[in-house]
Structure 1
């Protein structure tokens, strides 16, 4: 649904006679659809649980991917990505985190961390697998294979989640349930965090689809570019293992400080020394670790700051700006790469963005603990 497009985009553009901008516009449109749907989907999980919501996401994903595999026109191509965008909101991280929040009243943070350990291998598996499938069966049948995986693997697993009770009491030890969605979005901390996550999503989405082409532009072969990019997945897992061990007793706010500070260093190494394979490997390590742990932070921090009962709706609302910026990442990345200023321009632009997100995050958490505690005591 996400990583395959970076590998298959050139073949799709040639066969459908699409410009680079048009091809990535469709992909970005799907991310925008996911962002628009994230808040109501989160509220659905809060109310009904994740079993049927995520199962519907698997069905929608299978339909969208199969449709994409048969697309022959620009209109059909965009329509397929519209369905995939809706499927993303129903079945990816935000829906999964909200489902875990309902099912695991105490220890949800550890459960989210465990889930992300497995998901960290997504790019490591599906970038090389897509590369191999495309070489043997072409991009259309590759998407069809992935549609079948949604039906044969993901759908049964989502149905296996079981039914949740309509309302679950907040367990002892869980954060106090003190914020509704309306209260959360009126809080300045919410918007600072939402913008900090949004800027990071912009960076990650731009690199998710442009990292391999960028590395090729920097002089690395296609095989080397795929190999280096595939380091991101294991480093995501390494970062998440570190979060579970070295930082197991640290508050999400503290872990977030490390995450937001790591990415600028990696981007600077890519911008200054990107023609060297070791520097690219260093970047992929820092990028992967930052992305891996950030996924956990954005799943656990809203629970700590805003409570449990409306977690799905609040995290969906917080994810909406991030998913909109995620939609812009591929488009703006393509525009920057197409300029004649050289391949280092994109890493430098993203480096500036990473510094902005770091400042936003620090501004948000500087007084977050005192503000939230004060509101809860007053309540």
Structure 2
């Protein structure tokens, strides 16, 4: 089966909508609602973020299992089940009468997030059109980049008139009414693609050897660029780079609005935060137009460097508004490019076979480490100040730059394929 360009475009736009709702309701809203959660449960804000870190850890531990499920049952089915699980988990958080039940619901929420967010969406695009997946992933991240731009101010607006519990109920409804129908429809497409992929297919090498044209209905597998002997080392370096970069992103995105307020921006923090989303989209658009030929490993270096540079700019300029806007632009650009390379770099280095399992393993590793980021950032901020927390985060980001430089060097040293 070969998916038409029109159906692929519908798939990308449908996933774009669900990613906006998914990230907005399950992730970006938390920092806006966390202070009231802390008051409601008589917790310190530090411990509310500690609960989130533990929940992110649970999501990371579940990621390899999710990846195997994606390869076995299809990403569409997994995302359909994930929409239901996300809605139930949000409602459970809203209904929680005390800390323990809230914590258990938050654990379930982050496990459900892994079923509906980028990794599952990327896998669906790889399953339905492997040879066009890199471009499709770029288009998807271009659309989904507006999640923070929409949901930080939307959550703030809703919270002015509703309790955090009522906001979570509304977000549960959004996952059921918006995401579930789209994921169910895409699951049918994913299922047909998996059925077609189970039939014998021609690889690029076999086609070249036979020297015959490939019919449109005969899909080609995408083969990885790394030789088998270099793949273990490549995997370790790539996982390290994504893990360190995810730590930086997790630490700052969860704390973005309150952190900007703490360094002196006050009420302007939400305004500066809204620059982050358009910066993601702009970086992805520029990459799509001008960076199509850039290897994903080099793009990963640019992404990691942008994150670290953004934090340095903020440290040097705070509380100047202009510096904060430059920070949001750079940090948004780094985050936007990171979302692309999370999908394209594994595909380029290792190929499309077993993509779900591979991405699940990487996600599990990076989330296990990055899960601690919100708590660590909050702890350092409370004990030593927000500037110290930012400096420590910038150093972690520098480590990701080094890791991706080594990945690029490894990929560049690989013998060319005939």
User: Shorter chain as normaliser: what TM range?
Assistant: over 0.9
The change in CA–CA distance for 1:303 and 1:240 in structure 2 (over 3 A counts) is same
Q: Give the counterpart of 1:202 among 225, 242, 247.
A: 247
Count of residue correspondences: 371
The change in CA–CA distance for 1:82 and 1:303 in structure 2 (over 3 A counts) is same
Residue 186 (structure 1) shift: 6.7
In structure 1, the residue matched to 2:142 is 117
Q: Verify: 1:303 aligned to 2:303, yes or no.
A: no
Residue 320 (structure 1) shift: 1.3
1:17 is paired with a residue whose SS is coil
Bigger shift: residues 169-178 or 244-253:
169-178
Whole-Å Cα distance in 2 between the matches of residues 283 and 88 of structure 1?
Answer: 27
Whole-Å Cα distance in 2 between the matches of residues 336 and 26 of structure 1?
Answer: 16
Q: Deviations over 1:32-79 (max 9, x none)?
A: 121111112112212221121001100000000001111121111111
Q: Give the counterpart of 1:263 among 284, 307, 315.
A: 307
The change in CA–CA distance for 1:170 and 1:204 in structure 2 (over 3 A counts) is farther
The answer on whether the counterparts of 2:225 and 2:349 sit within 8 Å (CA) in structure 1 is: no
In structure 2, the residue matched to 1:83 is 108
Q: Verify: 1:175 aligned to 2:222, yes or no.
A: yes
In structure 2, the residue matched to 1:274 is 318
Whole-Å Cα distance in 1 between the matches of residues 64 and 304 of structure 2?
Answer: 25
The change in CA–CA distance for 1:217 and 1:184 in structure 2 (over 3 A counts) is farther
1:367 is paired with a residue whose SS is helix
Whole-Å Cα distance in 2 between the matches of residues 348 and 174 of structure 1?
Answer: 44
The change in CA–CA distance for 1:40 and 1:184 in structure 2 (over 3 A counts) is farther
The answer on whether the counterparts of 1:170 and 1:308 sit within 8 Å (CA) in structure 2 is: no
Whole-Å Cα distance in 2 between the matches of residues 90 and 50 of structure 1?
Answer: 9
Q: What is the TM-score with the length of structure 1 in the denominator?
A: 0.93
Equivalent positions of 1:92-241 (< 5 A) are 92-161=117-186, 162=188, 163-164=191-192, 165-166=194-195, 168=197, 169=201, 172=204, 174-176=221-223, 187-222=232-267, 224-241=268-285
Residue 369 (structure 1) shift: 4.0
Alignment gaps of 5+ in structure 1: none
1:106 is paired with a residue whose SS is helix
The answer on whether the counterparts of 1:236 and 1:288 sit within 8 Å (CA) in structure 2 is: yes
Q: What is the TM-score with the length of structure 2 in the denominator?
A: 0.85
Q: CA RMSD in A?
A: 2.0
Whole-Å Cα distance in 1 between the matches of residues 261 and 292 of structure 2?
Answer: 38
Q: Deviations over 1:185-209 (max 9, x none)?
A: 9701111111111111111111112
Residue 359 (structure 1) shift: 0.8
